Structure 1
Amino acid sequence: MENVIKKLFVAALLCLVQTTVCTADTFKGKIVNAETGEILIGATVRSEINPQPGWSMQNSAETDSTGCFTLDSGWEGRIMITFSMIGYKNSRKVDYAYGPEVKDTTDLGTIRLQPTALMLQEVEVKAKVPRITMRGDTIVFNPEAFKLKEGARLDELIKKLPGVQRRDGKLYWNDKPIRLMMNGKDMFGGDQILEQLPADVADKLKVYDRKSELARHTGNDDGDEDHVLDIQVKPGFLDKWYSDIEAQYQTKKRYSAAITASRLSDQDPHMIYAQANNANRYVDKTIGSSMNRNIDGDGKSQYGSYNYQHNWQTKGTQQYTSNRFNISANMGHSDGWNSGKASIETFFPNQEHTFGVKDTYRYKHNLKPQLEAKLFAYTDSANTIDVKVKASYEKARKSYEEKSASYGYQPDQFAYHSLKEALDAKPGDALYDRLITRDSEYESIELQQRGLNISYIWKHFIGKKGSFMLGGYTNLSGTNEDTHTNHDVEYLREQRNEKLWQFYDRSEHNLNTQFGASFEYWLGKKVYFNIFDNVRLSRTRTARNFFSDTDEQNVANGTPTTADPANTTRRLTHKWTNELTVKSTITPVKALMIMPMFKWNYSREKADYHYGPLDTTAVRTSNTYEPSIFLKWKMSRVRNMDIAFTYNTTVPDLVSTLGYRNTIDPLHIYMGNPLLRNSHSHTTTYNYHRMWLRKQIVLGFTASYNKDIDPEATLYSYNSATGVYTSKPMNVKGGDMWKFAFNYDQGIGFYFRLMNKFALETAKSYGFLTIVDNNAADAQPELNKQKRLGINNEFEFSYETEKLQLTLFDRLESNRYRYDDASYNTTPLFNSVGISANLHLAPFEVFVQLSDDYSSGYATSAMNGHKLKSMASVRWSFCKNKCMLSLFADDIFNKDIWYESENSAFQRQEYSTNYIHHYLNLSFRYRLDAKAKKGKSTTINSRR
C-alpha cells in the first residue's frame, strides 16, 4: 500500500511538472568547451529570479548527451542564469522571464566555458539591470539602470524614462497624460515637487492604468481610468524634510533667491516655497499646480506659498482612494516688460498685397493672492464627499506702446522695409509714395478682478452594481477696468493727420451655477451604463462708458470728456443650459472595450444688448448633438491599441451674431455678423503601442483625421484711400487634416539609447481674400485655398555611463504652404543639430552644449540663415554634496531673439521679441536631503 501511495504521489508530481512546463517561459541552449568546441555533458545550469522584493526563486538543469539544455521559469522578472562545470570557469547571462502567462522559448545560443585548473572558480560578473520589466499589467522602470549624475533629482530620472515626455508643463506616457502618485496615493504637490526630491528616494517607478473608483467598488472595468506614474519610495525616506536654498547672481546686476522645504509623508505632507528675482522668472508652487516661466522679455517677481495636506483612511475603505484635506495659500507679484517687431502681409485678389510693419513695447504689473481648500473623504464605505473652495484676487496695471506703418506693393516690388525707414520717409521718396498709414498708439490699463469658486459632489455606491451622484458648482466673478488710449494717425493718401484721445471704464459681473445628477450601473458583467444630466444657469452684466475727443481743448488731465455713444455698451445676458449625456462600456471579451457616448445640449440665451445705435433684445435657442465612440483593445501586456471617433458642434458667441460695429481702433474696425452659423468637426484617431522588453524597445504610432464643417474665419475689407481694415466673423468652406506620428525609444545594451519622434501633417483649409474698396455686407468674398505639409522630427542618440553622458540631437520643423495663387507660396523651415556632453569627475561636473540652428523661408531676413548656439556650465559639489557652486554661460556667440510665424489662407504674420540672453550666472545652492536608515534586507530562497 505504501508503494502504491508513493507511485501515485510521483505520478501526480510528474503531472504537475508537465503542466508547469507547458505554461512556463523556457530557455534553451548548448554548452561547449571554449577552446576545443567539444560539447560538455552534465554541465550545470542554474537560474535565479526575483519576482518580488525580498524573494528569490531558483531552478536548475543539466546538459544532455548533445550538450543541450532546457530550463523553465514559472515566475516573471529579471533572471540570472549561471553555467558551470568542474574544471571550467563559470559564465553568466542576464535576461528577462515572462512567467506562466507567456509560452515562449528563448534560445541563448552556444555557451562557451573557458577551461581552468581551479575547481569551481567563479568569475565575477556584474549583472546589468534592464530599464524596463513587467509585473502583470504594470510596467516597472528600474532607477538603478539609468545613468544619473550624483545628487540628481526625480524629474531628471523621469525625463529619461522611455515613452515619457513633458509637453506644456505636463507629463505624458505615449501621448496620454500622466497622473502622478507616490506609494499608490496622489502625489502631494504634483510634478513641481519632482525638482526637489532626490532620485535616490525612488525604489521603483511603475506605470499602469488605475481603474476608476466605481471599478474598484464593483470589480468591473468601466473603461474610465487614469494613466499613472507611481513612485515607490524606499523605506526610510518618508516623514522627513527636504529643502533647497539657492542664491544666484547674473550679469548684469541681476539676482535670484529661493527657498523650498517639503515634508515627504504618507499622512501629513507640507510644502513651503518663497522666491524673489529680477532675472525674468515667475515660479509658483501649490498643491495641484506649478509654473516656471518667463515673465516677459524682461521682468522681476516675488512669490510665496504654504501648502498642507492631511491623509487618512475611513474604516472599510483601505482598497479605495484615501481621504484627504488640503489647504493652500499663496501670493505672487510680478513686473514684466518687452519690446518686439512684427510684419504682416495681407493677401488681396489679383495677386495684390499690402504689407505692414510695427514695433511694440509693453509693460505689466500684477499682484495676485489666492486661497484654496479641498476635501475628499469617505463618510463610510459607500459614500464620498468632494468639496473645493477657491478665492482669488488680481490687481494689474498695464501699458502698451505701438508704432506702425502700412504700404502697398506689387509682387515684383517686394522688399522688407523696417519701421524706421517707413517713419523717416519724406514726400518724394519712393517708399513714401507707397505708404498708406502711419500710427503711434499708447494705451494704459488699470484692472481689478475678484473670484470665488465653490464645487461640491456627493456620491453613493450601490453595492457591487453602480453609483448615484449629486453635484454642482457656483462661480462668482467681478472685473473693473479703466483704459486710456491715445492715437496719432497719418492718413497719407488723404494727406491728413488725426490725434485721438480715448477713455473708457468697464465693469463686468458674472454668476455661473450648475447642478446635476448621475446614475451609473452595471447590467451584468459585460455592459456598463451611465446617464448624466445637469442644469447650468449664468448671468452676465457688462457696462462700458466711452469717451473720445480729437480736440485737445476737451481733454482734461489726459482724459477726454466728450461721450462717444457709438462705443458705449450695456449688456445683460441670461443663459440656461441643459446637458444630457448617455454613455456605456461594452466588454464582449476581457481584452476589448467598446465605449459609445451621446451628448445632447439644449440652451436658451437672452441678451438685452445696447452698442451705440444698436439697441436690441436677442433670444436664441439651440440644440447640439455630440456622438462619440472609443474602442480599446489590450492585445497583451506589451501591446495595445485604441480607436476613437468624436463629433463636435460649436455655437458662436451670441454677441458675435449681433449687428454691432466697434470703431475704438480707427485703423481696425470690428463688426458682428447676424448670419453666423454653427461650426462642426469630427475627428478619428488611431493609437498603437508596443514594447519589446528584452530588447528594451518602446514603440508608439498614432494616426488621426480631422474634418471641419463651416468653420469660423475672419473676413477683411480694406479701404485703399484710408488704409482702414474692417473685419467680421464668417463661416468658410471646411478643410481637413491628416496626422501621422511615430515614436521610437530603445535602450541599446546598457550604455546607449536611441530615441526618435516623427510627425507628419497634411492639411487643407480655406480663407477669404480681403475685399478691396467695397462694402463687406454687399461684396462677394473670394475663397483662397491653403495646403500645408508639415514635418516635425526629434532625434536623440545618447551614450550614458556613471561619469560621462553624450547626446547627439537633431530637431526639425518644416511647413510647406501652397495657395491657389503661387505668389503667396512659402516654405519656412527650422532645423537644430548639435551635441551635449556632461562629464562628472567628483567633485566637479562640466556641461557643454553646441548646436547649429538653421532657418529659411521667412520674409524677415533676420530670421533666415545659420546661428551657432552654445551653453556651458561647471559645478563644484562640496560638504558631502550638500553644497553646490556653479557657473553657467548662455550663448557666447550671439544674442538671440524669439521668432514666431503664422500662416493662414488670407495673411502671413512674423513676430520677433527680445528676452534676457548672453549672460553669466553664478549660483550657490545648499541642499538638505534626507538619508534612509541603513537596515538589513531579508532574502528568502526557494529551490524548485
Structure 2
Amino acid sequence: MRQLLSLLLVIACLGSAYSQTTARFSVKGTVVDSGSTALVGATVMLLTPKDSSLVNFGRSTDKGTFELKGNKRMPYLLKISYVGYLPYQKEFTPSDDAVTDLGNIELKPITKELFEVVVRTAKAPLSIRGDTIEYNASSFKVPPGSTVEELLRKLPGVQVDQEGNIKAQGEDVKRVTVDGKTFFGTDPKLATKNLPAEAISKVQVFNDKTEKAKITGVDDGVKEKTVNLELKESHKKGGFGKVTAGVGTDARAQIRGNYNKFNSKEQFSVIGFGNNTNQSGLSWDDYQDFRGSQSFNWSDQGDFGFSNGGYIFFGDDNDSFGVPVNGGGRDNRGFSKNYAGGANYNYDTKKTKLSTNYFYNQTQQTLDAVSTRENFLPNGSLRTDIGSSRINFNGIHRGSLRFEQKLDSTNTLIVIGNGRFNKGDDSFNSLEQFRRTGSTLSGQSRINNSSNYDAFALQTTAIFTHRFQKKGRNFSLSTAYNRNNTNGDADQRSENTLVTDGTNPVNPIRTINQINQTNSLRSEFKASALYTEPISKKVFWETFYNFSFRRDEVDRDVFDRVDPNEVFNDSLSRYYVNNFTYNRLGSSFRYTNKGFNFSFGGAALNFHQEGQFTRDQSSSAAPTTVGRTFFTVVPNASMNYDLKNNRYLRANYSVNIRQPSTRDLQPVVDNSNPRYIQEGNPNLLPQLTHSLSGGYNMFNPATFTNVFINVNYNYNINQIVYNQTVDSLLITRTRPINIDGGQSVGSYVSFGFPLKKTKSNLNVWSNVNFGNNPIYINNVLNKTRSNNYNLGLRLDYTPSEKFTLYTNGNWSVTNTSYSISSLQNQRIYSYNYNADMNVLFPAGIYFNGNFNYRIYQNKRFGFDQKVPILNLSVYKVIFKNKRGEIRLTAYDVFKRNLGITQSASQNFISQERVQTLSRYFMLNFTYNMRGVKATTRRQGGMIIF
C-alpha cells in the first residue's frame, strides 16, 4: 500500500509540475457556422504539421467554445470536423501569451462542388459523433508486424491488458466486428490478437444494441460496447497470414502457421501448430479469424424469455464445443506436447449466412506436484501432504455449422449444429500422508490409477422468426436436440494404512484393486416460443414458453480383482435412469421512452424428476425410485436509463435457478481416491439465487475521463454444497446437500483519465467482495466468511512509436474466518506487478521486455513466495515489404517459474507447487504473407483510394 501511495504521489507531483511549466500554452476558440450559430460537439484536434500526429484533442461546448491546454510552444496544425460540414484546418504559431485565442472559426456546409476537397481533408486522426469515436489507424504508429491489439493500445480511451481483454471508455468491450460483420465469434480477442494492424483502415468504438433488440426491433435498453475494424481495400481482396518456426535450448521447438483469405461475401482460413513449449491452445497471433461469421447470436440456444434469470441451468461441465484458445500464453503447470489444425469457411450476404469449421487438437501433459491441504474440523484439523505424478493425453475432434436464411422480408430460419468426439487416457500415482491436529503422521495412502475414455456429443438447434408488418410484433419458435455419450474404463489400485507409532505405516485398513467400467448416455429435447406485441409506441408486451425433456442413463460396473477372478461389486455398481421434465411460462412488460427503459415480469416454472436405480441393468430386484416435483414463481425486473452525454444508469433483479449436475444426483460412490470418497444425492433440489445489481458509468469524450461503478448482492436458497465427514480412520466422505443462507455482496469502482492526451493514461480501480458460505463438517454447521479487498492501478506511457511502456499493479488481501475453528482464521496477500516495454533501436532493431512479479503471503502458515518472471526478446524485420522477422527470445531469465496456487474456501486451505517449464532460449523465424497493395488514382476529378 505504501508503494502505491508513493507512486500516486510521484504521478501527482509530475502532473502538477508539468501543468505549471511556463513553456506551455493553451489554445482556444469558438466553432460556428456561416450564420455565427455555435456548433456543439465539434471535434477539435491539434496536430504536428510534419506528419499530422495527434498531440491534443477535445470537443466544443454547448456554446461552441473549446480550449486545449498544456501544449508545447511550437507550430501546430489545427483541425476541426463536424458532421455535414467541411473539415477545417489551419496552421498557426502560438503567441507569446499563455493563451492563444483564435477567435471565431467558421465551418462551411458540404456541397457537391466541395466534395473533392472533403476527400482530401477528411483524413483526421479521430472524430467524435455522439457516443461513437472513430480513429484513423494510419495516424497511430505501431512496429511492423504488430497485431490489432498493439494498435488498440495506442488509441486514446482504449486499454488492453496482458491477457488481451479490452476496455473502451471504461467499459469491457463485448464484441469486435470486421466491416460490421461478426467474423470472429463473441470473444473480442479472437480478432484483435490475430488481424495485422496494417490491414486496418479505421477503428470505431460505439454502444451497440443487443442481437435480440436488433432482431425483434424492440429496444431492451441494454448496450454492448463494440469495436468495429474497417479493413483496407487491399486486405478485403487479398489473402494474408504467416508461418513461424523456432528452435530453442533444452530441445524446445515450435512451428505454427495460418492463412486467411476473404472478400465481402466469403472467408476461408486454415491453421495449425505443433510445440513442446506448453502452448496447449491456439496462439492469438495464429488464430486469424478461425471461428467465423455469426458464430454466436442471442437466440442460438433457442431459450427465449428472460435473458438474465429465471431459466434453469444444468450444472454439467463437459468439454466445450468451442475451439481452445489460450492467447498464446504458456501453461504454468507441468510439461506438455501439443498439436492442432483445422479449417474454416464462411459465406455472408444480406440473405444467407453460412459458417462451418473443423478443428482437431491433442495434448500430452506431464504433471509432477507437491501440495498441502488442511481441513478444519469441529475438534481439530486434518493435514494432508501429497506428492503426485500424472501423465494424461486428450485428443478432440470438433465440427460446427451455422446456417441463417432470410426466407423473405419477414421470415428468418436459423439451423445450428455442433459435434465433438474425443479420446483420452490418464495415469496417476501419488503418496498421501495424513496428520491429525499436529505434525505426527497418522496414516498414508499409495494410489496407482489409470483410465481411458471416449466421448461423443452433438448439439442441434433450429430457430424460426417471423416479424409482422406492425413494428415490434414478432414471433419466434425453436427446437433443439442434444446428445452426449461417454464410455470409460478405469483401473484403480491403492493401499491405505494407519500409523500407530508416528513414523511407520502399519495396520492396512483398506486395499483397493478394482476395474471400473462406466457408460453414460444423455439426450435432451427442447422447444421454446416467444411472442412480442407493441401495446403502444412506448409499451411492449412479451410472453414466452420453454419446454425440455432430458434423459440420463448411467451404467457403472465395478469388479474386484480376487486372483485369478474378477468379482462383481454390488455396493459400488449402479444402473441409473433419470428423466427431467421442465416447463416455464412467463410474461413481461417493457416501457421505453427518451432513453428510459424499464421491464418487469415473472415466470412460473415446473420441474419434475423421475428416476430409478439398481445395482445392475440385468438385476431382477425391484429398482429404487426417485420422484419429485419442484414448482416456483420467479420475478424479473430491469431498468436502463440513458442520462445523455454518455452517462448511463442501470439496475436489475432476477432469480437464477441451477439444476444439480447428473454427477451430483447419481447415487454412485466414487472411490478413485480411497481417502476422499464422493457420493451423489438423488434428492437434491434446484438452487435458487436472488440477484440484485446496479451500476453507473460515465465517459467524457472531450477529456476522455471515464467512471464506472457497480454493486451486486446474491442470496442463495437450496444452495448446493458438499457436506463432509471425517471418520476415525481419517477417511473423508462428501455428499452434496441443500442449505440456505449463502450470500455475497460486492462492489467495483474504476476511474480513468489521460495524464497527457495521446501520450499517457492512468486508470485506478478497486473492488470489495464479502461472502458467507455455510457447510456441515461432521454434522456441525461451519460458516466460512471470506472478505476480499482489491486495488489496482494501470499507467500507460506511449510518447512515440520508438518507445512504449505499459505498467500495472494489483494488490489483493483476503481475510478468511471459520466459525468452527477461529484459530484457523487467516489472511492471504497477493501482489502482482507487470511491465511491458518496447524500444526501437537504430538499424531497425526492436527490443521487447516483459516483467511479471508475483508475491504470495500467508503468515499463518509461514508462506512467503516471490516469483519474478522476466522474458526478453530482440527482433529485426527483414526482406522487401517487411515480410520476414527474426526474433531471439529468452523465457524466464531468472529461472523462477513455479506453478504455485493457494486458496482458502469452505473449511480448508490448500497450497500447491507444480514443476513446470522454466528458463530456455528460442530463435524464431516468421514469414508474413501480404494482400495486394492499395493504389491511389484520380478519376473524374475525385480522389480514389
TM-score (norm 1): 0.79
For residues 232-259 of structure 1, give each alpha carbon's deviation from its aligned partner in whole angstroms, at most 9, with x where no partner exists: 2233331210010100112211211111
Gap change, CA 1:886 and 1:630, over 3 Å in 2: same
Tell me if 1:713 matches 2:679. Answer: no
Distance (Å, rounded) in 1 between the aligned partners of 2:71 and 2:861: 64
Alignment of 1:49-128 (within 5 A): 72-73=38-39, 76-78=42-44, 95-97=57-59, 102-103=62-63, 105-106=65-66
C-alpha displacement of 1:914: 2.5
State whether residues 573 and 608 of structure 1, in contact with CA within 8 Å, keep that contact through their aligned partners in structure 2.
yes
C-alpha displacement of 1:574: 1.5
Distance (Å, rounded) in 2 between the aligned partners of 1:171 and 1:766: 32
Tell me if 1:729 matches 2:736. Answer: yes
State whether residues 696 and 748 of structure 1, in contact with CA within 8 Å, keep that contact through their aligned partners in structure 2.
no
State whether residues 171 and 225 of structure 2, in contact with CA within 8 Å, keep that contact through their aligned partners in structure 1.
no
Distance (Å, rounded) in 1 between the aligned partners of 2:441 and 2:213: 68
Q: What does residue 329 of structure 1 align with?
A: 358
Secondary structure of 2:808's match? strand
Secondary structure of 2:567's match? coil
Q: What does residue 320 of structure 1 align with?
A: none
Tell me if 1:756 matches 2:766. Answer: no
Aligned match of 2:554 in 542, 545, 568?
Answer: 542
C-alpha displacement of 1:767: 3.4
Secondary structure of 1:864's match? strand
State whether residues 203 and 232 of structure 1, in contact with CA within 8 Å, keep that contact through their aligned partners in structure 2.
yes
Q: What does residue 271 of structure 1 align with?
A: 269
Aligned match of 1:154 in 148, 152, 157?
Answer: 148
C-alpha displacement of 1:374: 1.3
For residues 685-739 of structure 1, give each alpha carbon's deviation from its aligned partner in whole angstroms, at most 9, with x where no partner exists: 222221122222222222222223442322222223x211122223445243222
Gap change, CA 1:60 and 1:679, over 3 Å in 2: same
State whether residues 47 and 81 of structure 1, in contact with CA within 8 Å, keep that contact through their aligned partners in structure 2.
no
Structure 1 alignment gaps of length 5 or more = 1-33, 38-43, 49-57, 62-69, 84-91, 116-120, 315-322, 411-430, 556-560, 772-779
Distance (Å, rounded) in 1 between the aligned partners of 2:48 and 2:362: 63
Tell me if 1:836 matches 2:844. Answer: no
Aligned-pair identity in percent equals 16
Distance (Å, rounded) in 2 between the aligned partners of 1:112 and 1:225: 39
State whether residues 812 and 830 of structure 1, in contact with CA within 8 Å, keep that contact through their aligned partners in structure 2.
yes
C-alpha displacement of 1:673: 5.0
- One-letter amino acid of the structure 2 residue matched with residue 836 of structure 1: D
Distance (Å, rounded) in 2 between the aligned partners of 1:767 and 1:313: 54
Gap change, CA 1:726 and 1:868, over 3 Å in 2: closer
Q: What does residue 306 of structure 1 align with?
A: 343
Structure 2 alignment gaps of length 5 or more = 1-21, 76-89, 95-120, 283-289, 296-321
Tell me if 1:440 matches 2:446. Answer: yes
Alignment of 1:7-22 (within 5 A): none
Distance (Å, rounded) in 2 between the aligned partners of 1:114 and 1:737: 56
Aligned match of 2:374 in 345, 349, 358?
Answer: 345
State whether residues 784 and 907 of structure 2, in contact with CA within 8 Å, keep that contact through their aligned partners in structure 1.
no
Q: What does residue 143 of structure 1 align with?
A: 137
State whether residues 792 and 808 of structure 2, in contact with CA within 8 Å, keep that contact through their aligned partners in structure 1.
no
State whether residues 887 and 923 of structure 2, in contact with CA within 8 Å, keep that contact through their aligned partners in structure 1.
yes
Aligned match of 2:391 in 363, 378, 390?
Answer: 363
C-alpha displacement of 1:599: 3.0
- One-letter amino acid of the structure 2 residue matched with residue 96 of structure 1: G
Gap change, CA 1:902 and 1:176, over 3 Å in 2: same
- One-letter amino acid of the structure 2 residue matched with residue 292 of structure 1: V
Secondary structure of 2:144's match? coil
Aligned match of 2:460 in 454, 464, 475?
Answer: 454
Gap change, CA 1:674 and 1:605, over 3 Å in 2: closer
| The 10-residue stretch of structure 1 (831-840 or 397-406) with the greater mean CA deviation from structure 2 | 831-840
| The 10-residue stretch of structure 1 (920-929 or 704-713) with the greater mean CA deviation from structure 2 | 704-713
State whether residues 46 and 59 of structure 1, in contact with CA within 8 Å, keep that contact through their aligned partners in structure 2.
no
State whether residues 548 and 562 of structure 1, in contact with CA within 8 Å, keep that contact through their aligned partners in structure 2.
yes
Distance (Å, rounded) in 2 between the aligned partners of 1:478 and 1:671: 22
Gap change, CA 1:109 and 1:680, over 3 Å in 2: closer
| The 10-residue stretch of structure 1 (930-939 or 761-770) with the greater mean CA deviation from structure 2 | 930-939
Distance (Å, rounded) in 1 between the aligned partners of 2:148 and 2:92: 35
Gap change, CA 1:122 and 1:621, over 3 Å in 2: closer
Tell me if 1:623 matches 2:631. Answer: yes
Distance (Å, rounded) in 1 between the aligned partners of 2:837 and 2:885: 19
Aligned match of 2:533 in 521, 529, 536?
Answer: 521
Aligned match of 2:582 in 561, 577, 586?
Answer: 577
Q: What does residue 935 of structure 1 align with?
A: 936
C-alpha displacement of 1:600: 2.7
Gap change, CA 1:579 and 1:251, over 3 Å in 2: farther
Secondary structure of 1:200's match? helix
For residues 53-72 of structure 1, give each alpha carbon's deviation from its aligned partner in whole angstroms, at most 9, with x where no partner exists: xxxxx9689xxxxxxxx983
Distance (Å, rounded) in 2 between the aligned partners of 1:797 and 1:364: 41
For residues 33-63 of structure 1, give each alpha carbon's deviation from its aligned partner in whole angstroms, at most 9, with x where no partner exists: x99x9xxxxxx99989xxxxxxxxx9689xx
Distance (Å, rounded) in 2 between the aligned partners of 1:895 and 1:744: 34
State whether residues 47 and 60 of structure 1, in contact with CA within 8 Å, keep that contact through their aligned partners in structure 2.
no
Tell me if 1:383 matches 2:411. Answer: yes
State whether residues 395 and 423 of structure 2, in contact with CA within 8 Å, keep that contact through their aligned partners in structure 1.
yes
State whether residues 425 and 453 of structure 2, in contact with CA within 8 Å, keep that contact through their aligned partners in structure 1.
yes
Aligned match of 2:688 in 680, 683, 707?
Answer: 680
Distance (Å, rounded) in 2 between the aligned partners of 1:687 and 1:937: 52
Tell me if 1:183 matches 2:141. Answer: no
- One-letter amino acid of the structure 1 residue matched with residue 905 of structure 2: S
Aligned match of 2:609 in 605, 611, 628?
Answer: 605
Tell me if 1:765 matches 2:766. Answer: no
Distance (Å, rounded) in 2 between the aligned partners of 1:918 and 1:109: 48
- One-letter amino acid of the structure 2 residue matched with residue 599 of structure 1: A
- One-letter amino acid of the structure 2 residue matched with residue 140 of structure 1: E
- One-letter amino acid of the structure 2 residue matched with residue 718 of structure 1: V
- One-letter amino acid of the structure 2 residue matched with residue 748 of structure 1: L
C-alpha displacement of 1:615: 4.1
Distance (Å, rounded) in 2 between the aligned partners of 1:387 and 1:657: 32
Distance (Å, rounded) in 2 between the aligned partners of 1:582 and 1:937: 59
State whether residues 794 and 812 of structure 1, in contact with CA within 8 Å, keep that contact through their aligned partners in structure 2.
no
C-alpha displacement of 1:884: 0.6
Gap change, CA 1:45 and 1:724, over 3 Å in 2: closer
C-alpha displacement of 1:866: 3.4
- One-letter amino acid of the structure 2 residue matched with residue 693 of structure 1: P
Q: What does residue 889 of structure 2 align with?
A: 888
For residues 262-288 of structure 1, give each alpha carbon's deviation from its aligned partner in whole angstroms, at most 9, with x where no partner exists: 113221111111111122222344434
Alignment of 1:171-250 (within 5 A): 174=170, 176=172, 178-188=174-184, 191-211=189-209, 215=213, 220-223=218-221, 226-250=224-248
| The 10-residue stretch of structure 1 (924-933 or 257-266) with the greater mean CA deviation from structure 2 | 924-933
Q: What does residue 699 of structure 2 align with?
A: 691
Q: What does residue 420 of structure 1 align with?
A: none
Tell me if 1:848 matches 2:849. Answer: yes
- One-letter amino acid of the structure 1 residue matched with residue 408 of structure 2: D
**Aligned alpha-carbon RMSD (Å):** 3.7
Distance (Å, rounded) in 2 between the aligned partners of 1:398 and 1:876: 43
TM-score (norm 2): 0.79
- One-letter amino acid of the structure 2 residue matched with residue 356 of structure 1: T
State whether residues 214 and 467 of structure 1, in contact with CA within 8 Å, keep that contact through their aligned partners in structure 2.
no
Q: What does residue 418 of structure 1 align with?
A: none
Gap change, CA 1:940 and 1:491, over 3 Å in 2: farther
Distance (Å, rounded) in 1 between the aligned partners of 2:685 and 2:520: 27
Gap change, CA 1:802 and 1:490, over 3 Å in 2: same
How many residues of Structure 1 are paired with residues of Structure 2 in the alignment?
819
C-alpha displacement of 1:106: 3.5
State whether residues 39 and 63 of structure 2, in contact with CA within 8 Å, keep that contact through their aligned partners in structure 1.
no
Distance (Å, rounded) in 2 between the aligned partners of 1:399 and 1:78: 65
- One-letter amino acid of the structure 2 residue matched with residue 524 of structure 1: S
Q: What does residue 20 of structure 1 align with?
A: none
Distance (Å, rounded) in 1 between the aligned partners of 2:859 and 2:273: 40
| The 10-residue stretch of structure 1 (341-350 or 787-796) with the greater mean CA deviation from structure 2 | 787-796
Distance (Å, rounded) in 2 between the aligned partners of 1:82 and 1:885: 33
Q: What does residue 562 of structure 1 align with?
A: 567
- One-letter amino acid of the structure 1 residue matched with residue 463 of structure 2: I
Distance (Å, rounded) in 2 between the aligned partners of 1:792 and 1:731: 35
Q: What does residue 3 of structure 2 align with?
A: none
